[in-house]
Chain A
Amino acid sequence: QSALTQPASVSGSPGQSLTISCTGTTSDIGGHNYVSWYQQHPGKGPQLLIYGVTYRPSGVSIRFSASKSGNTASLTISGLQAEDEADYYCSAHRGTTVLFGGGTRLTVL
């Protein structure tokens, strides 16, 4: 069982928006702003989507946005596209340990 809780799966139709949640505690997500999100396609290494809770690295689509409220971080994907079908992971640290969520499988219908 992962220390950060994500829904196992979400789905949406092309063009729709959806949000993936990531719940932790005051010792991790709720205690600082080092929250990240990663996208992983099958057979590939993960790709950084979001860092510092809300910031997008250069080259990441503006369709990806993120926020945090209390102990829960959220990733929103707008204008869903077929290429968004992948696994998504949140991450935060607790002390000197880096935590990942269990991952959310996004299916584009």
Chain B
Amino acid sequence: QAQLVESGGGVAQPGGSLRLSCEASGFTFTNYGVHWVRQAPGKGLEWVAVISDDGNYKFYADSVKGRFTISRDNSKKTLYLQMNSLRPEDTAVYFCAKGRSLFGVPWDSLDIWGQGTMVAVSS
């Protein structure tokens, strides 16, 4: 059964950094693009970033461009999100999600989601 499990969330100060991880199991991780999507408390979903199956392309939301970096280690079946220069508005539950199609386009539907990890940015 395909599964994604996020970790690494916690409390950070404004201007600080955190690195999130997302471990995949139950599917061939190397064949799919993967995304980060966040949800602020009581708010809707906001797409954050995507990385292709081979890591050759990465796209970001304007709100995180230049501060966040998405990466993956296919040998470890793990997706990462390095978050620098954190702001209070980055406070959210961060989900990782898998693209639906084999070697799919960056804007593919997301068919497997993790349970999320909470990031709180506060002084």
Contact = CB atoms under 8 A, between A and B. Distances in A.
A24 interface: no
B113 A98 contact: no
B23 interface: no
B104 to A, nearest CB: 10
B110 A34 contact: no
Interface stretch (A15-23, A44-52, A67-75, A76-84): A44-52
Interface residues of B, number: 24
B109 A36 contact: yes
Interface in A2-50: 2, 34, 36, 38, 40, 44-48
Given A38-B45, A98-B47, A103-B44, A45 B109 contact: no
Contact of B59 (A2, A38, A97, A103): A97
B47 A45 contact: no
Interface residues of A, number: 26
Interface in A55-109: 57, 87, 89, 91-93, 96-103
B45 A46 contact: yes
Contacts of A99: 47
B105 interface: yes
Given A36-B110, A46-B95, A48-B110, A89 B105 contact: no
Interface of chain A: mostly helix, strand, loop or mixed:
strand
Contacts of A92: 107
A48 B100 contact: yes
A96 B107 contact: yes
A34 B44 contact: no
Given A34-B105, A46-B113, A98-B35, A51 B44 contact: no
Contact of B108 (A34, A47, A87, A89): A34
B109 A48 contact: yes
Nearest to B59: A96
Given A47-B113, A93-B106, A96-B59, 5 more contacts: A48-B111, A57-B111, A92-B107, A93-B107, A100-B45
